[in-house]
Structures are given as structure tokens and as C-alpha cells.
Amino acid sequence: MDTRRLFRTFTLALATAGLLISGCTDGSSSPSASATASAAGDSGSAPDAALKPYYAQQLKWRPCGVPGFDCATMKAPLDYAKPDGESIKLAVARKKATGPGKRLGSLLVNPGGPGGSAVGYLQGYAGVGYPAPVRARYDMVAVDPRGVARSEPVECLSGKEMDAYTQVDLTPDNAAETTRLTTSLKDFAAGCKKRSGEVLPHVSTVEAARDMDILRAVLGDKKLNYVGASYGTFLGATYAELFPDRVGRLVLDGAMDPSLPSRQMNRDQTAGFETAFQSFAVDCIKQEDCPLGTTSAADASKRLKAFFSALDAQPIPTGESRKLGESLATTGVIAAMYDESAWPQLRAALASAMVGDGAPLLALADSYYEREGDGSYANLMYANAAVNCLDLPPAFTAPAAVQSALPEFEKASPVFGRGFAWASLNCGYWTTPATGAPHRIEAKGAAPIVVVGTTRDPATPYKWARGLAEQLSSGTLLTYEGDGHTAYGRGSDCIDTAINTYLLEGTVPPENKRCR
């Protein structure tokens, strides 16, 4: 696989459910994003006096070790309700427009997560892999959202503690295993509070969107031009809701539907990964090296489920102290569902695991978790939980609720449903009250916004893109009929041409345009 595409595959958004991911809160309601904006200066007015120093700050650009890129540090209020209080430092990077052609301003990019490093995505993919005509006309820019990567990152566990956490059984068979799972979730939340308690209440998507508006102003742009993937679509849509008159050209690729509650989102995503696995299975049984048989996709599903059950009972060696059990194996399989170009790697990894060598499948899981060779972890999963646990009420708050929901999750995915249901409990024990709730985003008055959906996207099911495009008053749906997570830059000339034309000329695709 091309190294840039590999980087893209594992840094694109985890969205809301994932293996250890879901929205969560203590169940309290909160003001809408628009109300939050109004409290600190609405989109149609100049910023409040207390915010003016942030909007007027000058970035000091410096080389940052990657040829062609500059870096800077931007300040924003830690708490927008107290803009005269403490500030937070945010990492910003850019690659200036290369020309030829008239410069169109800045193009902010975000790979999603939440928790994905936008700076890393810019330097590793977008700044060198986006279409040349786009990079020629725009300064490519990224900011790591608050709590993420280089922007005062949320920390929760040590490397060894995270190793243990990723191996916890997510398909408990009895009361003792259920207790071990809930204890691990409580310990995770407690670790986040202990190590990052000051920042935890202030890493919401609303706050990150407000940070983007400060960056827009500091960069000298009247409008925000933006490409967001997966969770980055929720961030972009939230910006449009807060500041509709400052929307420039927004591409929301692999869209999330902000109107859905956590339980439905998690169930939808469970079905999304099942759809993606079925596509993999149909392809796999046509290959001579398919370790799941060559008879039917249904048989392949049964074989994978049986393999997971065997690992649940007896993990296999990996050549290191960690063994490959059901949880890590499931993570490895799911990691490969994000991009069909990873399917050959998954076939080989499954084949090795089925003869007792778990190392290749463990490597896929480690890529998903951003685990380094020295046993340390990036803060992806920590930031992911911290953001999700502020943004939405929980899917579940107790094991009994999960038990009652197992049938609907297993119906959505016979292979992954049980684990996804239990993983949806992760924010039920969060220590920081949430500040968000499901709601429709219309962004009335915003310029045309392009919403992109992939028909067999595992992480952000296609119906979410339809839902967001319908909600946005100026939304236009662009459909990619294919596999994998998101569409832009995945090899479809039709998709890339439509998005490039929009970014360069401002012309939106025809309504309901479909591409292959």
C-alpha cells in the first residue's frame, strides 16, 4: 500500500462508536451550539471585547522539521464562558500555496477522530497528497484541536495500562468478566481525570469550532474554507451553525448526522462495519489465499465469528508479551475495513493468525490505536473519549442496558454486534458532565456546502451523509458508490473532479450527483 494512503487510512476518523468509542454524558441536557455562540459573540458581529486579543494575535511562523511546512502556536480561551481567564495553546501548521494561479486563501483540513492530529495529517498526507491544483491555489493549514496531539493533549493511561485496556474482553460471558470490563472503563475515566482534569471540560466540538474561527481571522481570511473527514464533518457543520456568514467552501466528507442520539449512532455504525465486512468477504472468497473459505460470504462470516470465539477462549502468541485475544483481533479486522486497499494485508494477517501467529493482526490493531514500537501510545484514543463524552448523551450507562440491547446490535452485525454494544458503555462512567446534545444543524444563511457520502462506508454510514445534507439549508449531497471510509482522494476521478471544481471555482456538484 502506498505509504501516504496507509497514513490516511489509519488517521481518518474513528467517528463515534468504534471499538472503544461512543458519545457520552451524565444525561444532562445543554444549550445548543448556536446558543453557546451567542453567549460569547454571535457570528454576525465583531467578537466580544474579551475575545478581541485572541482575534488580533499575530502568529510567529517557524520551520517545524518537515520541509515546506511552517508551524506556529495560537492561543484561545480555555473556557469561552470566561474569555478573560486562562488560555490554551493550539498547534498550527501550514504549507503555503505553490502557484501558479491566484491564491484563494487558506484551506483548513481535519482528518477526524475525534482525536486525529490535523497537523500530522497535513504534513503526512494533505499537504503533499491533495490534488496539485488545490495545493497551488490554497495555503494548506491545520490546527490540532484542543486536547489533541500537539495542542495540550489529553492523557489518561501509561503505555502498559493502555496495553491492558486494549486487551479487555469486550464480549463478557459472565458476571466476573462484566465486572472486569466495567472496572477497566472506570479506571480509564479516572486516569483521564487525574492526568488531564483541567482541560477535560473544555474539549468539546463547539469549542474546537470557535477556535477555528479565531484561526480564520488570524490567517486574514474573511471566510473559512475547509475539508473535514468523518468526525471532521461534525466539526465543520458545527462551525457552519455557529458562524454561517463566515462559511466559505466547506467539504464534509464521510458525514456524521448530528441529530442522532448515541445509541442509534452506535447501532448504525455497527451495521456499517458489517456492510464493509460483507464487501470484504465477497472479495475474499474469490481469492486463492482467502483464510475464510471460498464458498460464500455467509460462510466467511461464520468462520470469522468462530475464530474470534476461539481467541476469546485461548489467545495466541505474537512474538512478544502481548497475546492476540478476541478484542485485539477484532480491532485489527476493523482497522482494515477503513480502506479496501488494506484487504490483502488483512487476508494475510488472518491466515497467519489462524495457524497460530498473531503478530500481523496485532500490527493492524496497533496501527488503529497509534501504538508506537516502544510501547507508548499517541493520545488519539484519550482525546477521542474526551471529546465524545462532552458532545453527546450516552448510549448506555449500565451493563443491564447493554444486555437488553444486545439483540438489536447482533442483528445489525452478527460478527461485531456484541463487542460494539459493550464498547458503547465506555462513556457511561465518564467523570466530566457533557455540554452537548443531539440536534439538527441547518446553518441558515451559509454558502453552499458539499456533503460527501460513500455507500459502503463502515465508520460513517451513507445514510448519515443523506441526513446531514438534508438538514443543512445549503447542503448538496455528492455520493460515491464504493467501499471504504470517505471518498475524496480515493481514486475516483468523478469525486475528485467535483470537489476540486467546488474548491477552485465555487461551483457545487449537481444535486444528488453519484460517482463510482
Q: Which residue has the cell 462551525?
A: 239
Does pLDDT of 431 surpass 60? yes
pLDDT for the residue 4: 37
| Angle at alpha carbon of residue 471, lines to 515 and 258, rounded to 5° | 95
| Angle at alpha carbon of residue 455, lines to 451 and 459, rounded to 5° | 80
Q: Which amino acid is at 478?
A: L
pLDDT for the residue 433: 87
pLDDT for the residue 393: 87
State CA 252 to chain mean position distance.
12
The set of long-range contacts for 192-195, using a CB threshold of 8 Å and a minimum separation of 24, is 192/154, 192/155, 192/156, 192/382, 192/385, 192/386, 192/431, 193/431, 193/432, 195/154, 195/155, 195/156
- Please name which of 85, 178, 161, 121 lies closest in space to residue 6, comparing C-alpha atoms: 121
Q: Which amino acid is at 488?
A: Y
- Run of H or E including 308: helix 297-313
pLDDT for the residue 46: 57
- Number of neighbouring beta carbons within 10 Å of residue 67: 8
pLDDT over 90 percentage in the chain: 89
Q: Report the DSSP pairing between strands 70-77 and 105-110.
A: unpaired
Average pLDDT of the chain to the nearest whole number: 91
Determine the average pLDDT of the residues in 314-321. 97
**Which letter, b or e, does each residue of 371-387 get, where b requires 16 or more Cβ atoms within 10 Å of its Cβ?**
beeeeebbbbbbbbbbb
| Angle at alpha carbon of residue 231, lines to 363 and 217, rounded to 5° | 125
The helix/strand/coil state of 425 is: coil
List of E strands, 365-459? 449-456
**Which letter, b or e, does each residue of 206-227 get, where b requires 16 or more Cβ atoms within 10 Å of its Cβ?**
bbbbbbbbbbbbbbebebbbbb
What is the spatial distance between Cα 372 and Cα 257, in angstroms, rounded to a whole number?
33
- Pick the more confident residue, 47 or 287: 287
Least confident of 49-53, 185-189, 279-283: 49-53
Cell digits of residue 513: 450527483
What is the spatial distance between Cα 251 and Cα 107, in angstroms, rounded to a whole number?
10
pLDDT for the residue 34: 37
- Number of neighbouring beta carbons within 10 Å of residue 450: 25
- Number of neighbouring beta carbons within 10 Å of residue 278: 17
| 495: Cβ contacts below 8 Å, ≥ 6 apart | 452, 478, 480, 487, 488, 515
| Angle at alpha carbon of residue 117, lines to 116 and 121, rounded to 5° | 105
Q: Report the DSSP pairing between strands 70-77 and 475-483.
A: unpaired
- Pick the more confident residue, 46 or 66: 66
48 pLDDT tier (thresholds 50, 70, 90): confident
| 49: Cβ contacts below 8 Å, ≥ 6 apart | none
8-36 per-position pLDDT tens digit? 444 443 433 333 333 222 222 233 333 34
144-153 per-position pLDDT tens digit? 999 999 999 9
Does pLDDT of 255 surpass 90? yes
The DSSP code for 250 is E
Cell digits of residue 434: 457533557
438-490 per-position pLDDT tens digit? 999 999 999 999 999 999 999 999 999 999 999 999 999 999 999 999 999 99
Determine the average pLDDT of the residues in 304-315. 98
Does pLDDT of 47 surpass 80? no
Residues with catalytic function = 230, 457, 485
What is the spatial distance between Cα 327 and Cα 365, in angstroms, rounded to a whole number?
9
pLDDT for the residue 221: 98
114-148 per-position pLDDT tens digit? 999 999 999 999 999 999 999 999 999 999 999 99
Strand partners of residue 142: 93
What is the spatial distance between Cα 447 and Cα 86, in angstroms, rounded to a whole number?
34
pTM here?
A: 0.93
Determine the average pLDDT of the residues in 87-111. 97
